[in-house]
Amino acid sequence: MSNLFINTSEWPFYIPIALSIFAVLMFALSKAWPRAWSILFGSTLLAVLAGTMVAAWAGLWLPANGASFGGEVDLLFNLILVLTTFFFILTEAILVWSLWNHKPPEGKSPSAIHGDHRLELAWTIVPALLLAGIAVVQMPTWARMKGAGNESWLSTRYEVGSDKADLLVCVHGRQWEWRVRYHDPTLPMPTRPLDWAAKAEPTDLHAVNEIHAYPGAKVRLLLRTHDVIHSFFVPQLRIKQDMLPGRTTPAWFIPTPADSSRENRWEIACAELCGGNHYRMRGQVVIHPDKSAFDAWYASSAGEQSRRKRSEKAVASAPKAS
């Protein structure tokens, strides 16, 4: 009878019920023993720290880096993680200490505290200085990730004239797939790449849900969307870039897989909830062992595309049966 309206066999069904029961029990326990909350928060702090250390020791951390600027991104990630972890431990420790040592007086309301201007200035200025420091430290990496290859700290503009890409790839996000288009690498690069991204050329190679490259190649991505906002995310490349309707967004990477003697395949995911079938919007970045393997794949795919076009043209031009 219990399954007539709700499928209680699914474990997520029990989570809100369990949390509600736990909250009621903790409220009742804290009335009898006010220090119960300090034990709960202290245990949670220790569990989070222990889980984090075990995850790092077991290798359940960042995926293997496969991009030229990935080391810089990881360094920034770890720096911010260390800072936030320090202040998380500090604030939780103060909270646990306060709950343990200060209980409400019997039979009367606790006295009100109106704050301390010195403390308020301190916890405003110190985080502001830390955030400003992080902003300065990350600027060179941000500029290299967003720019066309120059070393300026502030340049985040796509400079078409200085783009020395080996591969030019347009990635067109649409519900629920990635449409990929390659400029023929044997031909000169277009002088107006953004215009090329908006309009295909007859020599372009088309693919779905796959981006192919080879180690050491500078791959220029031009990201577009057909319908709603998508987010192009490849963890191994340390790239997560939103794609906005009506706009071409440039990105780039140089693949540096740890093992370049074999073919590497990395998942492309959409990191922006883009509709009911968002989970289906997945693809792959395929890094061939070397340029010759990539060239062989490209020639084979281009030949297959050419044969398919000729076949479609022949079918379209064939006389229709009366």
Q: Is residue 7 part of a domain?
A: no
- Which has the higher per-residue pLDDT, 37 or 216? 216
pTM of this prediction exceeds 0.85: no
- Residue 243 is predicted with a pLDDT of 95
Q: Is residue 191 part of a domain?
A: yes
State CA 15 to chain mean position distance.
27
Question: Are 202 and 283 within one domain?
Answer: yes
**Alpha carbon distance 216, 218 (integer Å):** 6
Q: Which domain holds residue 69?
A: 23-102+120-146
| pLDDT tens per residue, range 94-151 | 888 887 887 766 767 767 777 788 888 988 999 999 999 999 999 888 888 876 444 5
Question: Are 189 and 295 within one domain?
Answer: yes
Q: Is residue 151 part of a domain?
A: no
User: Can you say whether residue 318 is alpha, beta or left, with left for phi > 0 and alpha for psi between -120 and 50 degrees?
Assistant: beta
Q: What do you get for the CA distance between the two ends of the chain, in Å?
A: 61
Question: Are 173 and 210 within one domain?
Answer: yes
Determine phi and psi for 66, rounding to 5 degrees: -130, 20
Q: Is residue 96 part of a domain?
A: yes
- Structural domain count of the chain: 2
Rounded to whole angstroms, what are the CA distances from 78 to 2, 3, 71, 72? 48, 47, 11, 10
| pLDDT tens per residue, range 51-97 | 888 887 887 788 889 999 999 999 999 999 899 989 888 988 888 88
Question: Are 218 and 132 within one domain?
Answer: no
